[in-house]
Copies of this chain bind each other. A is one copy, B any other.
Amino acid sequence: MNFSYLSHLDCPQCGETYDANDIQQLCVCGSPLLVRYKLDRVKQELKREDLLSRKADLWRYHELLPVSDPLNVVTLGEGMTPLLELPKLAEDYGITTLLMKDESLVPSCSFKARGAAVGVSKAKELGVRKLAMPTNGNAGAAWALYAARAGIEATIVMPLDAPKITRSEVALAGARLYLVNGLISDAGKIVAQEVGQNGLYDASTLKEPYRIEGKKTMGIEIAEQLGWEMPDVILYPTGGGVGLIGIYKALQELQEIGWVEGKLPRLVAVQAEGCAPIVKAWEEKAERSEFWPNSTTAAFGINVPKALGDFLVLKAIYETEGAAVAVSDEEMSVEQEKVARLEGAFICPEGAAAFAAARKLALAGWITEGERVVVLNTGAGIKYPESVQVNPPLLEVGEFISPIEQGK
């Protein structure tokens, strides 16, 4: 038994293959690369039951992850997040079974930890000493923290408007932090220049092949948590779209090793009305998206005007007969409060977008009676303090709650 059944990398665009023992970034054709495994051997040598005695983190799937030597695993205990039934919200939406995959319960309180854990571990295995990346905040925070644990120097560039707390995370981890008075695409240009000049490892979204592998564990976990069954629909808030690509890849791999059977879930990419390039492309039945000018949304993590992996996201949607849905910031805000009031979860605006989309798709009859629906909440609401306005009454010492207040 190997720790990893890693085989090689290949290009989903031109088919070129690459050696996974060397540092690889994009394909020569410009496409992101995908990681391939010896799935026939996994099928023969690994049984689902083998997982039972393993720790409840994403490394329980190490055969399907790209790190060859367990000594290179850089972990903060990420993965195996709750898959929670939300019965009151389900009733409100008119959905038979509504489940939340709650990615707030990971290090740094955002699902970016999964990509960072696997990406940084593999970077360590490949001998990387310095990496750089642009970020909308949460990914940079996660990569900076895991890089610190790995002893890798990180350079992080984020928009001025990115969630402020992520600055603290990056700085406290000892990474080099820069702000840019622009968008993540502007941060990307700064990183590209820095990478080119100083020979850093480019950890930008999909410019290294391993972040997807971390994200795909969400898909494996959903299957395991449902007793190796697949749900009917999975909704995912989509910026760069790595999670959606990863979940799709995971479920295909699980099919290939015989751990799940039947039809794949319909995958739904959820975007903000102020930044909806994937939705536009899907509506036009296009294979790729176009740059979305002057993008804006309170759900900062999905403010990505043009994703490098757009064609992979769209392929996953088309092949699973999924959909792409845009929601307004107002709808997110309403849904964020609804989820907290009914189910006690303080979700992030991006997660709220996915819930708002679930409501819309149920109302439109796209989600039907008897279906099992999984919504990804990609992070904790507490990382976005400005998303909630609150002005509670202030009492002085010696004052008590007045009967008028009590009647509220």
A residues contacting B by CB (< 8 A) are 52-53, 56-57, 74-77, 80-84, 102, 104-109, 145-150, 155, 157, 160, 164-165, 167-174, 176-182, 186, 190, 193-194, 198, 336-337, 340-346, 380-383, 385, 387-388, 390, 392-397, 399-401, 405-406, 408
Between A and B, 22 residue pairs with Cβ closer than 8 Å are A52-B53, A56-B56, A57-B82, A75-B84, A76-B102, A77-B105, A104-B109, A105-B105, A108-B382, A109-B109, A109-B380, A146-B344, A148-B344, A170-B390, A172-B340, A176-B408, A177-B390, A179-B394, A179-B395, A180-B397, A190-B395, A382-B383
Verify A406–B171 contact, CB threshold 8 A: no
- Enumerate chain B residues within 8 angstroms of A182, measured Cβ to Cβ: 396-397
Cα(A381)–Cα(B168), bound, Å? 9
- Enumerate chain B residues within 8 angstroms of A155, measured Cβ to Cβ: 401
Cα(A396)–Cα(B157), bound, Å? 12
Verify B194–A381 contact, CB threshold 8 A: no
Verify A400–B193 contact, CB threshold 8 A: yes
Copies of this chain, whole number: 2
Q: Are A173 and B346 CB-contacts (below 8 A) given A160-B394, A390-B168, A396-B181?
A: yes
Q: Are A181 and B394 CB-contacts (below 8 A) given A148-B343, A344-B148?
A: yes
Q: Which residue of B lies closest to A190 (CB)?
A: B400
Pick the most buried of A75, A82, A102: most chain B CB atoms within 10 A of its CB: A82
Verify A171–B390 contact, CB threshold 8 A: yes
- Enumerate chain B residues within 8 angstroms of A346, measured Cβ to Cβ: 108, 145, 168-169, 172-173
